[in-house]
């Protein structure tokens, strides 16, 4: 699963993220701390198939996802720096096996950019990615 694979990879990347503590694989849960990041799947592209039988699994998936990082405005610099660290850990990653899935490459499709405050006035930076991966 994309978000489990990427989440586990980021939690082990040495940038201060811990799964389900300050890194979430869904939009921020209600109990998430102010300073936190989350991964969200976004619309991807159609799969590539080989010449296998009916309902054969795709040979290549082009999945897209977004990383959103939020924090109190007083910690804006650290928040943006974390978003940039996540981007550096993911941009041009691969080929690599995460979990049981081969990721041929992961690329950032945008720079880190400011998304503005959420409804609780926490500032947010985001970055979008595309992953070319095997089935899984």
Partner 1 sequence: MKIRVEGTDLRGVIEGMRALGKAAPEAAMRILGQKAQDVAAKARTLCPDDPGTPGSTLRDSIRATKATRGQSGMISAAVIVGGARLKGLLGSRAYNAIAVVQHEDMTLKHSHGQAKFLEQPFLQTVPSVADAVQAALDQEADRVAG
Q: With CB under 8 A as the contact rule, which of the stretches 75-83, 86-94, 98-106, 110-118 interacts with partner 1?
A: 110-118
- Least Cβ distance, residue 92 to partner 1 (angstroms): 21
Instruction: State both tokens at 30.
Output: 């209600």
CB-count exposure of residue 38 (10 Å: 0-12, 13-18, 19+): buried
- Tell me the C-alpha distance between 90 and 133, whole Å: 14
The secondary structure element, H or E, covering residue 66 is strand 60-71
Q: How many residues bind partner 1 (CB under 8 A)?
A: 17
Identify the bridge partners of residue 117 per DSSP, sorted by sequence position. Answer: 123
- Tell me the C-alpha distance between 65 and 3, whole Å: 8
x/- letters, 19..48, toward partner 1 (CB under 8 A): --------xx-----------x-xxxxx--
Spatial contact of 42 and 66, defined as CB atoms under 8 Å apart: yes
**One residue of 51, 77, 116, 120 binding partner 1 per CB under 8 A:** 116
Between residues 95 and 114, which has the closer beta carbon with respect to partner 1?
Answer: 114
x/- letters, 69..108, toward partner 1 (CB under 8 A): ----------------------------------------
Q: Which residues bind partner 1 (CB under 8 A)?
A: 27-28, 40, 42-46, 64, 66, 68, 113, 115-116, 118, 126, 128
């Amino acid at each position: 699963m994309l978000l489990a694979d990427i989440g586990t990879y980021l939690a082990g990347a040495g940038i201060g993220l811990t799964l389900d503590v300050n890194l979430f694989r869904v939009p921020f849960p209600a109990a998430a701390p102010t300073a936190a990041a989350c991964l969200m799947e976004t619309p991807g592209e159609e799969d590539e198939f080989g010449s296998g039988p009916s309902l054969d699994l795709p040979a290549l998936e082009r999945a897209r996802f977004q990383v959103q990082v939020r924090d109190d405005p007083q910690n804006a610099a650290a928040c943006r720096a974390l978003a940039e660290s996540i981007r550096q850990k993911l941009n041009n990653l691969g080929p690599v096996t995460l979990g049981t899935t081969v990721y041929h490459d992961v690329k950032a499709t945008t720079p880190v950019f400011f998304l503005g405050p959420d409804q609780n006035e926490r500032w947010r930076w985001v970055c979008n990615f595309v992953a070319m991966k095997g089935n899984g």
